[in-house]
Amino acid sequence: MTAMDALDVLTHEHRQIQHVLDLVARAVERGKQGEFVSASLFLRAANFFLTYVDGSHHAKEMVLFQTMLVHRLPLATSLLSQVSGEHGTGTEQALALRDAAEAALREGADPEPMLTAAEAYLRLQQGHTTAEETQVFPLARRLLPANVLERMRTRFARIEASHGSLAEAVDAMERAFAPARPPVRPLAVGGVRSF
């Protein structure tokens, strides 16, 4: 098996982030159907987005964008502005989600603003990932030399070290969003309980 290069790392992280987005989307859907959804889970999701998506993943993408500019790759200025701007918008939307979840926790506020904020974040990320994977990454893969991609990967490792493992954070989110299981009842066997 070959080692992942910097672009493989970013694509793999997109899949991991998408997994968390899917968890949040299912929770939003349950909330929209009138089921109870935990505001603390949405607060965790917002903090995940701020720490790992914005703080770590987007920082790595900025390394890619800067590298592409330094190597004068023919990246459309409008595309670079779009994806960079979406990073900023994502931060604002994650902060709005965090604020709405905190209000729901603190004041027992209506969960609708929290669900709406989560939906806005989900919509933005879907289009954002598509633009990067269909336009930015293929151009970089075609035109950046392997040694440049390797140096980028080294920088990525330093970024991840400062935020923690994305994979571990995704696992923690999956456990947090897992449906609660009913308590296990001991079986009674002939008057004796089996534990």
Residue 189 to residues 184, 186, 195, Cα–Cα distance (Å):
15, 9, 10
> Which of 78-82, 97-101, 129-133, 169-173 is least confident?
78-82
Residue 85 confidence (pLDDT): 84
Which of 87-101, 123-137, 145-159 has the lowest average pLDDT?
123-137
Give the relative orientation of helices 77-107 and 39-48 as an angle to the nearest 10 degrees.
Answer: 150
Whether 95 contacts 21, CB under 8 Å: no
Q: How far apart are CA 184 and CA 181, in angstroms?
A: 8
Give the mean model confidence (pLDDT) for residues 47-70. Answer: 92
Which amino acid appears at position 93 of this protein?
Q
Q: Which residue has the higher pLDDT, 92 or 81?
A: 92
74: Cα separation from own chain's centroid: 28
**Is the predicted pLDDT of residue 168 greater than 70, yes or no?**
yes
- Confidence at residue 109, expressed as pLDDT on a 0 to 100 scale: 77
The answer to whether the beta carbons of residues 163 and 51 sit under 8 Å apart is yes
Architecture of domain 6-179: Up-down Bundle (1.20)
Q: Per-residue pLDDT averaged across 155-163, rounded?
A: 92
Tell me what the pLDDT averaged over the chain comes to. 87
Tokens of 192: 């004796």
Residue 131 has a pLDDT of: 86
pLDDT of the residue at 180: 60
Q: Where are the domains of the chain?
A: 6-179
Q: Please say whether the beta carbons of 73 and 138 come within 8 A.
A: no
b/e code 177-188 from CB counts within 10 Å (16+ = b): beeeeeeeeeee
37 φψ region: left (φ > 0), alpha (ψ -120 to 50), beta (else): beta
Q: What is the SS3 assignment for 192?
A: strand
Q: Write out the E strands in the chain.
A: 187-189, 192-194
| Distance (Å, whole) CA 110 – CA 101 | 10
Amino acid 2: pLDDT: 57
In which band, very low, low, confident or very high, does the pLDDT at 182 lie, cut at 50, 70 and 90? low
